[in-house]
């Protein structure tokens, strides 16, 4: 699914800022809204986008970066959810 888009073109098509696209690619950080926008523009279901292998043949660097991003986002979400649960348990246990 090579489109040959620049970061600027992808940002414009997805209605995102260039900085957001750069952050997704370099830092693997994205909000749910950003992931949804990129998924729609790239015409890849969110679930499939999250399971892309970083070294799948035929993938562009942007697609590999997006796959890494979504995997990291899922792990971060799980860690935050667990951390909040533990915090609440401790906090409510002290009350």
Q: Are the beta carbons of 20 and 7 closer than 8 angstroms?
A: no
In a domain, 13, yes or no: yes
In a domain, 42, yes or no: yes
Q: Tell me the residue range of the domain where 55 lies.
A: 7-94
Tokens of 29: 């950080």
Confidence at residue 15, expressed as pLDDT on a 0 to 100 scale: 92
Per the model's pLDDT, the better-predicted residue between 2 and 89 turns out to be 89
Categorize the per-residue pLDDT at 1 as very low, low, confident or very high, splitting at 50, 70 and 90: very low
The answer to whether the pTM exceeds 0.75 is no
In a domain, 1, yes or no: no
Q: Are the beta carbons of 38 and 24 closer than 8 angstroms?
A: yes
Cα(36)–Cα(16) distance, rounded to whole angstroms? 11
Percent of the chain's residues with pLDDT above 70: 71
In a domain, 2, yes or no: no
Tokens of 35: 């992931």
Task: Please tell me whether residue 95 adopts helix, strand or coil conformation.
Answer: coil
For tokens 């952050």, the residue is 23
Average pLDDT over residues 71-89: 72
Confidence at residue 42, expressed as pLDDT on a 0 to 100 scale: 84
In a domain, 54, yes or no: yes
Domain count, the chain: 1
């Amino acid at each position: 699914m090579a489109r040959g888009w620049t970061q600027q073109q992808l940002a414009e098509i997805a209605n995102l800022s260039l900085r957001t696209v750069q952050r997704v690619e370099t830092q693997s950080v994205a909000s749910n809204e950003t992931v949804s926008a990129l998924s729609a523009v790239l015409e890849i279901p969110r679930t499939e986008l999250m399971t892309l292998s970083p070294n799948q043949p035929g993938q562009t660097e942007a697609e590999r970066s997006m796959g890494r991003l979504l995997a990291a986002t899922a792990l971060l979400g799980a860690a935050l959810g667990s951390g909040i649960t533990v915090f609440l348990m401790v906090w409510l246990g002290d009350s």
